[in-house]
Structures are given as C-alpha cells and as structure tokens.
Amino acid sequence: MPDGVATASKSEQAYQAVKARIVDGTYSPGYRLVLAKIAEDLGVSVVPVREAIRRLEAEGLVTFVRNVGATVAGIDPTEYLYTMQTLSIVEGAATALSAPLIGPAAIDRARAVNAEMRDCLDHFDPLRFTALNQAFHSILFESCPNPHLLDLVHRGWNRLASLRSSTFRFVPGRAHDSVAEHEALLQLIESGAGADTIETAARLHRSTTLDAYLAQTNH
C-alpha cells in the first residue's frame, strides 16, 4: 500500500476512534487530547492522530485552548438550544424533501431500526438508543436532493455529537414517546402526506426532545 494511502487509512481509523470516544462520553467535555497517548493507544504514529484531531476541530467537537492544547469541546445549554432549534428546521425540511424519494425498502429499514429502539426500552441503554435514533433519521433525510440542506443537517448532528450520548440519559422517558413518533412519521410518508405536514411533524419531534431536555436540566 502506498504511504499516502496508508496514512489516509490510519487517519480515518484515528478519526473514527477518537470521535467514538467523544460521543460515548469516554472523552468528556474539557478532556485534554494528548496526541502521543492517543497514538500509542491506537498503535499509530502521531501524524494521523493530528489529522484526525483537525477534522474533529472543523466539526466543532474539538477545540484548542491556549497553553493546554486540544480538548473536547463542550456545548453549553444555550448553544444546545440554538443548535437543536436549527436542526429541527433543516432536518424537518430535508425529511420533507426526501419523503417522495423514500421507497418501501427504505421504510422497511427504518421500521426495523425503530423496532430495535423499541426493544431497547425494557433494558434502556441510552448510547445504543441514541445510535439507533441517528440511524433511523438518516434513512429519512439522506435522500434529500438538496446537498446544501443535507450539509447543514450533518453539521447539526456533528455539533451535537458530544451531547447526543447524554440526551436520552437525562430524559429516558422521552425515548418511549420518540419511538411512537417515529412510527407516526413513517405512516405519514407511506400515506403520501404533503410536504408541509411531514416537515411539521419532523420539526415537532425534534423540538419536543429539546423541550424535555431543557426542562429536565432546569434550563
């Protein structure tokens, strides 16, 4: 394998590994990312780790602090509020534009993911539930024909990555309602409901989660 390809592969490996640890809370907000230590843990050189950290910085998951270095970025309640409000708008629009392009096979995949989410409710695992939640919504918005809108949706999810693992941990009761709302959303898409109806339902689904989170955390 050429050196450039090998470096790129190791950079992707480091990126995925560090991002996963941020999302699952192993690297919590404010955690100092020591490149040499991460490189040692992953069995790679510092170069691909540095490239991975730069990618994560661009996504808003890592920030550089003077005299400290790279640290995991946190999202304060106000930032969370603004990000979720924005995401509810752009994701709702992307889902509405995707709806006419979502065929029976995609509906079946989304419903299967939602069934897994339902199974999680008895022995609740917020990390698994959150991962499945992202997978469910990705099926609904990934067919969006507007690449600029889709880019905004991905940016919103990336900005929330460090908090996604904790959202349902704070409001586990919201998970039950979320599964029911998913099925209602699928039924709207299946029935050929209008774009405005689907967009409103998708936006309300997102904003209700935000309201529950903010109420539970007293913000």
Mean pLDDT of the chain: 87
Contact of 32 with 69, CB cutoff 8 Å: yes
Q: What is the pLDDT of residues 154-202, one digit of tens each?
A: 988 887 765 555 567 667 788 899 999 999 999 999 999 999 999 999 9
Widest Cα–Cα separation across the chain: 57
- pLDDT, position 65: 82
Q: What percent of the chain has pLDDT over 90?
A: 57
| More confident of the two residues 124 and 32 | 32
Res 216 pLDDT > 80: no
pLDDT single digits (tens) 135-161: 999 999 999 999 999 999 998 888 776
17-39 pLDDT per residue, tens:
998 888 777 887 788 999 999 99
Residue 8 has pLDDT above 80, yes or no: no
Structure tokens at 183: 């099925």
Tokens of 169: 């941990």
CA 83, 27, 24 angle in degrees (round to 5)? 65
pLDDT higher than 60, residue 4: no
Helix H or strand E encompassing 17: helix 3-23
Total residues belonging to the chain? 219
